[in-house]
């Protein structure tokens, strides 16, 4: 059995000891680099009725290399592409943070989408041209994909 890098062991201990409010992160059974994440949609957002599955991956180089996080539940959001990848500055570059902080920063992104920094151009265009319709589309998508999916 391969030995886990120290940074991954410490991060696993942190996530299990101090859970993030309204976010549940559990280590994968077969791969300790992966965490299964359950995130409740933020109140007051088009995503509030949803419960979203995400996957968090810690590379061997963590904490030097940033964690990778992606939505496994489909979401209609300008900053999340069809593969679930998230456009969030803290996920790239040297300024990334601990996993708990990264997970906490996803909730405000859901509450305040940024169509000027999109990963999903079609969704972004709708947010720019018809925000009310974009919000309704996000709600409908959330009801379709992010309810009763746990």
**Residues labelled as active-site residues:** 87
Q: What angle do CA 99, 115, 133 make, to 5 degrees?
A: 115
Q: Which residues, including other chains, have CB under 8 Å from residue 5's CB and lie 6 or more apart?
A: 60, 61, 62
Query: Which of 124, 142, 146 lies closest to 134 in space, CA to CA?
Result: 124
The H or E element that residue 88 is part of is none
């Amino acid at each position: 059995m391969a030995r886990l890098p120290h940074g991954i062991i410490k991060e696993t201990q942190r996530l299990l000891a101090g859970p993030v409010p309204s976010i549940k992160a559990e280590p994968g059974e077969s791969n300790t680099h992966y965490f299964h994440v359950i995130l409740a949609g933020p109140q007051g957002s088009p995503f509030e009725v949803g419960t979203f599955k995400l996957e968090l991956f810690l590379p061997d180089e963590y904490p030097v290399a940033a964690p990778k996080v992606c939505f496994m539940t489909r979401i209609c959001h300008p900053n999340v592409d069809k593969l679930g990848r998230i456009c969030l500055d803290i996920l790239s570059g040297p300024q990334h943070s601990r996993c708990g902080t990264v997970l906490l920063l996803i909730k405000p992104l859901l509450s305040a989408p940024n169509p000027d920094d999109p990963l999903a151009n079609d969704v972004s265009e709708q947010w720019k041209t018809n925000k009310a319709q974009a919000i309704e589309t996000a709600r409908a998508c959330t009801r379709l994909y992010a309810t009763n999916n746990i």
